[in-house]
Every structure is written in structure tokens, then in C-alpha cells.
Structure 1
Amino acid sequence: MSKNGYVNFMSMNSHNTEKKLPFRPVALGIPERLMPVVLDCARQLEGEGVRGKALRRLFVRLAQDPKSFADHPVLGGLAGMLGGESSPGAAFSVTEVPWRAWGEDLDPKAVQQLRDGCGLPVAVSGALMPDAHVGYGLPIGGVLAVTEAVIPYGVGMDIACRMKMSVFAVSPDLVDTNGDELARAIEQETCFGVGGQFKVRKDHAVMHEDWGFSPVPRRMHDTAWAQLGTSGSGNHFVEWGVLDVPRAMPGLPEGTYLALMSHSGSRGTGGEVAKYYSALARRLHPELPRALGHLAWLGLDTDEGREYWAAMELMGRYSAANHALIHAAVAGRLGLTPLFGIENHHNFAWREIHDGREVIVHRKGATPAGRDVFGIIPGTMVDPAFVVEGLGNPMSLCSAAHGAGRVMSRKEALARFRRSDLEHVLKERSVRLLSGGLDEVPMAYKDIREVMAAQADLVRIRGTFLPRIVKMAK
């Protein structure tokens, strides 16, 4: 964007002439294929004295309600192309950008969701991870790069869902010799589930930041504070286990360690942010077919887009605070001080450079895997998690899987398995489950080893964590 607020846009006509506009047409939902028409209309309107903010407002109204411009002397033709005489979604034209998938036997519905995302007018490229399964908007395991826009449901409902591991320089045999003590520390210092909160509130610097810039954080501030340091439901967990490091990592020598690992996010507040801004994006993009409504985006050159971005980043800091408090409380109860720590988001959007171009990369259920970037990819309550080092593969937009990935829905898992099935596999793997639902049985997930094998060109395994004492929502 230039200093005067205009966007430089290279037109797609045969002359390839440059035209400055005070708005980004694709951010308003106008398909890129119509850019030559947009530029021609803008020239005519500017010749009649319509410039700057007035020109932008006119095109915003056109994108939102093309029918009302059917008889406009300049914009009438463009309105017809945008569906002025058709039903919502008729103007949406899919030109799929390049994308690539890892893994075999991927869910066709998840594949289609990624393809839908790659057909958006703001899309640049995409990738699908081997743990992929269906989600809202983008699939879980979906990675999508776009230009100067953010898709709320491309980030996900649980904004900044996060992994954290603390490693302790004590004997891992403590999971056997002092298992009851380790279990009590988790039981007494954690809180799980929808609406869960501590009787005595915790505190963290993030709660003293500005939460008033957006109506959702402002409304949810008290609830977020009440839930500070707690974990969600579903596949969120806190667990003790044994970490094997066969080769020294930066800050952690080779060896076998006791480790504490957690998986949780931004709680109900993150979900409210996602729902509010996704609904707003849908209203701003009536041209999207109904089936693609969850892929609606917000331009980052708009107030709405900048507001969502700030809320997303706040939820990232809030999620990190939750994990920090969980680890401090559980380890502190036992008088343990971590020797090493590692953590990462997997529901977030980042501003990055790929192929020499600045893009917004959405990783929904995908782990950042830039070269030399460390992260955590968990398995199930009985299967290993892996500390990984990213290989920076540009084909995946420097991303990797975020876990094993479901092979069946929660409803199907509850219908197919009994408590005895879960108890059998827990005993077989020597795992103590303090609490957890049948919808999280290991059999409802892919084999994490196969997932890791499918992405050997994305990450290098540097450590293996075996869970031994696990707590999830009841």
C-alpha cells in the first residue's frame, strides 16, 4: 500500500497497465478475473469526480448488494457479472491454486474442503497434512496461504490451540515409584471441561492488557479471567510421561527424562471470537455459495480484518498464559523446576514470506515446521508424542501434522466402544488415565507412527514422549 493509502494493482489485461485503487477488490469479494472490468469502471468514475474513500464506499456497496446497481450507468455491467440478476453465490468462480497433500487414504471430504479453500479469490497456495479430517471451513490439517486477508474458520474455533512440554532433570522412574504423588499434582492443580474454572482465580499479565478494542474480548474478559489456567474438553489433556532424547538438542542433552505435556487453547473466549468474526465475514461476502460460507475472509486492509487479527493474537497470548500457569502449578506442587521447555500453536495465522511473496498462512490443526523450528506432535492417550525439528519444506508452506488425526467422529466412537475396550488398551500400554471420555479412545485415531512416516520430508524426530499418567475432561 502506498503512503496515500492506495493499493497498487497490476491489471490482467493485455497491456498489463498499472492502476492505483483506494481498496483491494479481492478483499471485497470481487473475483480476480473481473479486475480489468473493475479498473475500467474505476477510471470512468474517477473521470466523473468519484475518488478516494467515496470510490471505495461505492465498490463496497456494489460487492455487498450488486442487484441494487443493476441500472447504474457505469457499474451496471459489473453488477450483472457479480450476480446482480442471480442468486447469492452465482458470481463465485473457482480457479484452484496449487496445493499438495501428504499421506494416504485421506478423507475425501477433507480433501474437498482444502480444494474449496484453494479456490478462493484470495488464495495463493495450500497443503493438506496426513492427519487431515473434516472441520468447519478449512479441514483440520489444512494449510492455506492467502493475500492480505484472514479467514476466521481457517484459523479455527479454538484459536491458538497449543502444545507445551516441560522437561525435568529427574529420574523418569518417578512415574512408577511416585505415581500417586504425580497424579495428585495433576488432579489438584488442573481444571477441565466446558465452563470449568477455579474457585480462586489465577493471575497473569495477559489479563491486564487492553481487551476493549473488540466487542468480543471486551464482553468475555471476565469469563476468560475466571477460566485462566484451565483446560478445555475433547482432546485436551495434561499428562506425565517419559521423554527419550537419543541425540542432544539445543538446550537439552541426550538422555531420558521425566516430562509434563499439555494440550489446550483459548477456551470459550477463543470460540466466541471465531464465531463473531466468521459471521461478520459471511455478511461481507454474500457472493460465496452457501456451502462455502465458513471460508469467508476479512481483508487485512479493513478495520474488521485488523480487529480480528488483534483478537487472534490476544487469544494466542491468553492460550500461552493458560499453559504457563498449568505447568507452573503442577510442577511447583512437587518442587520441580524445568530444565527445558518447548511449545507451539497449531490453530493460528502467521504473516510469512513464501516464494519471495508476503502471505498470510493459516495452519488449522497444523504445526509450524520451518527449518530448525522445534515443535510437538502428540499421538493419543496411549501412543507416543514426538518432539520434532522442522525441515522447512516449501511445498507444505513449512508445516506438518498436529497429531494423529481422527478416523471416526466422536459420535461413532461412543457408539462403537465400551469402557472395557478402553481399559484393556490402557492396561496393555501401562497408562494410568485419571479421567477421559470414550470419544477419545485411541482406536478413534490414526496410527501416529504412520502419520509421522508420511511426513518424513517435513520434520525430523528429535525426541519421543511416552504418556504414563493422563488427565482429560471427564
Structure 2
Amino acid sequence: MKKLKITGKELRAIGYPEGPVVSLAINIAKKFFKHNTREQALKILKDVLDKPQAFLEDERLAPVALQLKPAAKTELYETSLNNQGVPFNIFGAEFIEEGATSQMYTAAKLPVAVIGALMPDAHHGYGLPIGGVLATANEVIPYGVGVDIGCRMCLSVFNIDPKALKEKENYFAREIIENTKFGSGAQLDKAADHAVMENKAFYEHGLLRSLHTKAWKQLGTSGSGNHFVEFGEVIIEEDDEILGIPKGKYTGLLSHSGSRGLGASIAGHYTKLAMQKRRLPAEARNLAWLSLDEQEGQEYWIAMNLAGEYASACHHIIHEKIARQLGERPVKMVENHHNFAWKEKFENRDVIVHRKGATPAGKDVLGIIPGSMTANGYIVKGKGNEASVNSASHGAGRKMSRTKAMETISHSELKEALHKSGVKLLGAGLDEAPFAYKDIDAVMRAQNNLVDIVGSFKPKIVKMDGAAPGTKA
């Protein structure tokens, strides 16, 4: 039977608003309405759009209905942007597209903004640019955090000679394939077990309660896009007291993914509330905020932190399953969020620091900055530079949109690049080909006053969402 295919363009044409609810509706339709015609599925989704209250108890459609449900009426007031924005430093300006810089200038004019920074991997996004850092006084901006709340890097370093990755390539590839699952709607047949699912917020918070079952089914899975799980060679050139690994060569297991449908639903719900409470000019509407003195702001803060714990749990489940299969315990694990908000101090002032696609880089804080499927990633140690609000890039950053990459990069070019780099690709789309990304080493040079490099990671066996090159999806 032909797969049901509904596009975001079709949903927007019938009235769906721009935002996470579009991809959520597409994934639910693919899963539950695969035996319906496209017209029938669109009719069902249109019914949910027209009368979301009627579907709030529907086992399949409740997540969509929750995001479409009109929020309780609040007192609206006009909010103007400041004429002069707060200062922000730009790192690697020569690598950053104009759209991202323009978004950062807009964010800097918010009346709640305190300080900002733009990382060298920055590119255009919703609200804050990806690679944007913004500190506020006592306010949280849901789209300043992002849709994939708590998107995270996690590296397990094993005392295994990395030569084994080539000698036993099929063995290591099998362990990734058998212990991971990718895709925006991916769920496990048997739910994983983790203490995060017993967090009291799931039972005390109405929105989170409605998302608990789906979150449990997705626990331990990875998303689509640039999310990955890969084996590679870890090289530690010099002993570092903070990293705590003797110099040498190791085998590393590196993963990148976030909070799955849980984070997307939280982001959509609270962004809608924030927009209804703060009516901002058109260019800033996605930067609407919630005060942490308000009930909605307190609820978002709880939900955001839960999503961060959930994202961490997803990584730990994957790493623990693979480590068990290898019969090894990692000698070190390094991990960090990069779509999150933190309560921090800036110039002795309490602030909320949003890092949307930016790595925490406080003094001696460890993190991972990946390159691409063929380029080195780096284990880094923060320098605590206040000029970047204690932040660094979260990767190389895109230099080519997904659409442009799909239109201009061929499968043969990708295969040649993989062969040249000695990388076995188990699955990915052309939109994630290395040509779509900036030069990671140039990006690292642009932020050498923000982080120290204490180790490198060279990808060898890579799994992302999609089919392996030369096979049908």
C-alpha cells in the first residue's frame, strides 16, 4: 500500500498555523491514518482545527487538539521594542548569514533583554537565530529556547583501540542499528524504563500528563534532521585535569538528539500563550516571553526542565544499551544541552540565559561541538568568557538550507566524500551531506577565545534518519 503523504504546505493551506503543530499533525496522520486516503486524513485534521475542544480526549488526536485549543483569554497589551538594543558580540561574523544577524538585532531590542551574543555557526531560525544567546532579566522566551528543548550532545569514551572500528566494522554497525530508532514519529515497540517517567511533573501538570504515554514510547529514540548516533576515534593529545582522560586514542560513541515530541508540544503550547500575553511587532512576534513571576512562566520552567531531563535520559538509554552489548563501561562521559535556558549570574546580576543552538562554555565546563558526518568534532573546555555570555557554538552550522542541499548535492558526490573520509554511513538524507555545513575548523578558530580544545572525535560509523546511500527509503 502506498504511504500516506501529507505536507506542511497542505496543512497550512487548510488553516494550520506555522509552528510545531504542523509536524506533529503530519506524524500523527502517518501513524494512525495510514489506511485512509490523503483527502480523508486532511478532512480529519481540518475537523480538529475547526473544533479542537471536541478532540481533547481523543487518544490519537489529543496532542494536536491541545496545541490548537484557544488559550484562556488574558489581558493583552501592546509591547514596543526599544529603539536601541542591548549590546551583543558577534563571533565569526564572516560565516553568518544576514538573516541570523537581523534576528539577533531584533532580539536585542526586547525590553526584557540584558545582553546577547551570536555564535559563528549561527543561521536563521524561529524567534532567536540558531546560534543566538540572549540573557533576560526574569523572563523566559519559549522560542528563545527552541522547539527541540534540551537538544543534547553525549559522548561515551571507551578504552577500545579505534582500529577495531575498521576491523570489526559490521559488528559496531550492527550495535548502532539494533539499539537505535530514528525519525520524527519514531517509537519503540517496548517502552524503555527510566526514573524520568516518574517525575511528579508528569502527574501534576495538565499538559505534561497528556503527553506522558507518547513520551514513554519515544524514550530512548532519536529524531530526524541532524540527529545522529555514531562511533568514531577519540584522540586526546595531552592530559587535561578537567577532562581526566590520559592522552591516547580511544573509541567514542557520540549521539545528538533532544526531547522528541515532548519538547515540541511544550514549545508550541507555551509560545502560543506567550504570544497571547505579549503582542509584539511582527518581526519580533516569535520572541514573546513569559515572566517567571507568572503562573504560565513557572509552568513552562518546570516543563522545560523536565524535557531536558527526558532528553538526557534518551541518550543514557542508548549509550547504556550499546555499552552493555560491547561488554564495556565508558572511562568518561561528556555531555551538554544546547537548546535550553539557565539561571545564571552576569556581572553579579541574576539573569535567564537562553542558548538556542549554543553550547555552555563557563570556566572549565566540558562540552562537545560536532562537525559533520565526515568532519571532526571537538571535546572542549569553556574559558568563561563573558563577551559570549559564557557560550560557544553547538556545531559547524549550516551553510546551505535543506532544500538547497537536496537540489544541488548528488548521491554520487556524497558517496565519494564518505569514501575519501573512510566513513561508513548507515543512513541519512542528502540534506545532511557534509557539503551543507560550514568548515568546523574555521568555526573553531573563530571562537578560540571562548573554548579550549581538549580532544577530538573523528566519525567512522554514522547513523541518521533515512536510508543508507544507494538504497530505497
Corresponding residue number in structure 2 for 1:169: 159
AA matched with 1:400: A
Pairwise CA distance, 1:195: 1.1
Pairwise CA distance, 1:92: 3.9
Pairwise CA distance, 1:104: 3.0
Pairwise CA distance, 1:216: 2.5
Q: Is the 8 A contact 1:213 1:307 kept in 2?
A: no
Flag the structure with larger Rg.
1
Structure 2 unaligned spans of 5+ = 1-73, 467-473
Using the size of structure 2 for normalisation, the TM-score is 0.81
| Cα distance, 1:239–1:65 mapped onto 2, change above 3 Å | closer
Corresponding residue number in structure 2 for 1:466: 458
2:305 aligns with one of 313, 319, 324: 313
Pairwise CA distance, 1:65: 4.4
Corresponding residue number in structure 2 for 1:45: none
2:247 aligns with one of 250, 254, 271: 254
Q: Is the 8 A contact 2:76 2:276 kept in 1?
A: no
Matched, 1:196 2:186: yes
Matched, 1:413 2:396: no
* Equivalent position SS for 2:224: coil
Corresponding residue number in structure 2 for 1:239: 230
AA matched with 2:130: I
Distance in 2 between residues matched to 1:213 and 1:461, nearest whole Å: 43
Distance in 2 between residues matched to 1:326 and 1:94, nearest whole Å: 48
* Equivalent position SS for 2:93: coil
Distance in 2 between residues matched to 1:178 and 1:215, nearest whole Å: 49
1:156 aligns with one of 146, 149, 154: 146
* Equivalent position SS for 2:86: coil
Q: Is the 8 A contact 2:231 2:253 kept in 1?
A: yes
AA matched with 1:372: D
Distance in 1 between residues matched to 2:342 and 2:336, nearest whole Å: 13
Matched, 1:218 2:209: yes
Matched, 1:291 2:283: yes
AA matched with 1:233: S
AA matched with 2:367: G
Matched, 1:103 2:96: no
Corresponding residue number in structure 2 for 1:123: 113
Q: Is the 8 A contact 2:358 2:392 kept in 1?
A: yes
Structure 1 segment 86-101 matched on structure 2, within 5 A: 91-101=80-90
Using the size of structure 1 for normalisation, the TM-score is 0.81
2:123 aligns with one of 107, 126, 133: 133
Q: Is the 8 A contact 2:81 2:109 kept in 1?
A: no
Pairwise CA distance, 1:274: 0.4
Distance in 2 between residues matched to 1:252 and 1:453, nearest whole Å: 24
Corresponding residue number in structure 1 for 2:424: 432
* Equivalent position SS for 1:462: strand
* Equivalent position SS for 2:245: coil
Deviations 1:354-407 (CA, angstroms, capped at 9, x unpaired): 101010000000000001111000000000000001000001000000000001
Distance in 2 between residues matched to 1:229 and 1:312, nearest whole Å: 18
Moved more, 415-424 or 144-153: 415-424
Pairwise CA distance, 1:215: 3.0
Pairwise CA distance, 1:299: 0.2
Q: Is the 8 A contact 1:94 1:120 kept in 2?
A: no
Deviations 1:126-160 (CA, angstroms, capped at 9, x unpaired): 00000000010000000000000000000000000
Matched, 1:281 2:270: no
Q: Is the 8 A contact 1:64 1:285 kept in 2?
A: no
1:264 aligns with one of 254, 257, 260: 257
Corresponding residue number in structure 2 for 1:4: none
Structure 1 segment 7-86 matched on structure 2, within 5 A: 64-65=75-76
* Equivalent position SS for 1:212: helix
Structure 1 unaligned spans of 5+ = 1-62, 67-81, 83-88
Corresponding residue number in structure 2 for 1:147: 137
Structure 1 segment 309-458 matched on structure 2, within 5 A: 309-458=301-450
Deviations 1:413-458 (CA, angstroms, capped at 9, x unpaired): 0011111111010001000000011110110110000000000000
Distance in 1 between residues matched to 2:410 and 2:260, nearest whole Å: 28
Q: Is the 8 A contact 1:228 1:322 kept in 2?
A: yes
Deviations 1:213-240 (CA, angstroms, capped at 9, x unpaired): 3332111110000000000000000000
Q: Is the 8 A contact 2:120 2:131 kept in 1?
A: yes
Q: Is the 8 A contact 1:367 1:375 kept in 2?
A: yes
C-alpha RMSD of matched pairs (Å): 1.5
- State the identity %: 50
AA matched with 1:353: K
Distance in 2 between residues matched to 1:197 and 1:138, nearest whole Å: 30
Deviations 1:289-343 (CA, angstroms, capped at 9, x unpaired): 1221110000000100010000000001000000000001112112121111100
Q: Is the 8 A contact 1:194 1:233 kept in 2?
A: yes
AA matched with 1:262: S
AA matched with 2:116: G
